[in-house]
Every structure is written in structure tokens, then in C-alpha cells.
Amino acid sequence: MPGTVVAVSRCATHSFSKPNESRIRLLKGLGVEGDAHMGETVKHRSRVAVDPTQPNLRQVHLIHAELHDELAVAGFRLQPGDMGENITTRGIDLLGLPRGARLHIGATAVVEVTGLRNPCIQLDRFQQGLTQAVLGRDAEGRLLRKAGVMGVVLEGGDVLPGDAIRIELPPEPHHPLERV
């Protein structure tokens, strides 16, 4: 069974949360039309300060709605877009995807997964304790980042709530996601 899009969000300013929209348009090589993070080079302020010429591997931010469910049990109140994601999904293990996995979303859009979102202090400014809640450890004690994945737009198109998401895995060997 394919995954689905639960919600889509964007914001033209560098605010933390993004309001939900009825649709967003992905632009090939750029990201989400009208979003502050759209562009060929980095747009996240901390990355721009280091080197504004770096390629933008964070054009689209996706979070699985199952994370919202998990956080609700821990007492957090979150809606799609609250953690700055552009696309909220359900039914896909986003964090378990290998680097280079392609998400075919809706009729034409394709997003290639580049890596994990690195949780930052802005999460705690939104709701105290949220940063720690989206971090964990695996059985070997390695740090787990659960705040979603980042990607680049390979093929553009409109994305709407209810759209199906099909996963295309890259050729093996698969490489695990790292923070980008």
C-alpha cells in the first residue's frame, strides 16, 4: 500500500511553523514555490552564514504523521506544518529510507531524499522539551534523529493532501540517511 500526503505547507518567511495550504507546487531543482527555503543554493540561515554557495539539499522537508502521533502520547500538541515541514506523510518509514530514495508524489512530482533533518533549538522555542523528544538512541546507542527528512525536487508538480506516494529505491548498496 502506498503512503499518502496528509498535509502540505509553505511559508515565504523564515518562520518556524508553516501554514497548511490546499496545494503546493514543487519546482524542479528549486523546491516549494513561494517557500523561504526554495532555491538552488542553501537558504537555511545557519548554512548561508557558513557558505551561501553550498547546494541546497534541503529544498523540501517531509515529516511522517506517525511522529505527531508518537509526540501526542508524550504530551505534545502538534499539527502538520508546526515543525516547519512542507509535506506531512502517513504510511511511509521516511527515516528508514536510504539516501537517494525517490518519492513519486501525486501525478508528476519526484523528490529525492538527501538526508535527515537535524533537530535544533527552535523546536524547544516552539514547545519546551520537543528537541529531546525527537531524538533517541538505537540498540547500539547511536543517535536517532526523528524530525523528518530533507530532499531535492527532481521533477516538479502540484502536491495535494490525499496524493499517493510511491517509493523508488536507489540501486544497491543502500546508504543510510545522515544529517544534512
Task: Write the pLDDT tens digit of every residue in 133-146.
Answer: 999 998 999 999 99
Do the domain assignments include residue 173?
no
* The predicted structure's pLDDT at residue 29: 98
Do the domain assignments include residue 176?
no
Handedness of CA 146, 163, 81, 71 (dihedral sign): negative
List the one residue out of 168, 24, 18, 153 whose CA is nearest residue 79. 18
Do the domain assignments include residue 180?
no
> What does each C-alpha distance from 63 to 49, 54, 86, 161 come to in angstroms?
26, 24, 8, 14
Mean pLDDT of 17-40: 98
Q: How many domains is the chain built from?
A: 1
Q: Across the strands, what pairs with 159? A: 24
The rounded percent of the chain whose pLDDT value lies above 70 is 99
**Cell 508538480 belongs to which residue?**
157
Write the CATH number for 98.
2.40.33.20
**Cell 544534512 belongs to which residue?**
180
Mean pLDDT of 85-108: 98
pLDDT tens, position by position, 3-13: 999 999 999 99
Model pTM score: 0.96
Do the domain assignments include residue 128?
yes
β pairing state of 60-64 and 87-90: parallel
Do the domain assignments include residue 8?
yes
* The predicted structure's pLDDT at residue 49: 87
Do the domain assignments include residue 174?
no
Q: Domain span at residue 164? A: 3-168
Q: Residue 30: is its pLDDT beyond 80?
A: yes
Give the chain's length: 180
pLDDT band of 45, cuts 50, 70, 90: confident
